Structure 1
Amino acid sequence: MKKLMTMARQFRDDDNGAAMVEYSILVGIIAAAAILAVLAIGAWVTGRFTGLCTNLNAGPGTCDAAAGTGS
């Protein structure tokens, strides 16, 4: 019985599981932030290239944004 009580106390006092959950949540938040940053930068770059293509089409050059070609 004493051994069972000792094991129960050790299980109760063990914080490894809680720490692992906290680190998992932290890694998930960092991963979500990284994905959002990549998506935001991609949208910004797409907007910049679309604006450049629009300016090329208005001027002396031509641009096909879908094909990614211009002259």
Structure 2
Amino acid sequence: MSCLARLIMMLIGFHLMAGASVQFVFDLNEVHHSSDGVFWMEFFKELVTRPPLYVMISGMVFLFIGVCFPQKSR
């Protein structure tokens, strides 16, 4: 994999992970708050049914590919 391809894969991964983290913040704001804090179990149950988790996982996969695949040998 060339250096440019690795850079592009890493940038795609960073972009997907940044977008997913923003979506996580908005989803966390939607969870009903109590006086003691956030209902974390409710948030984690809803997390697997919403896209931000899978966007974050795909961003991690792109980042892993960009970082760990060897460079093209000459």
Give me the TM-score of the superposition, normalised by structure 1: 0.49
Structure with bigger gyration radius: 1
More strand by share: 1
Higher relative contact order (CA 8 A, sep 6+): 2
More helix by share: 1
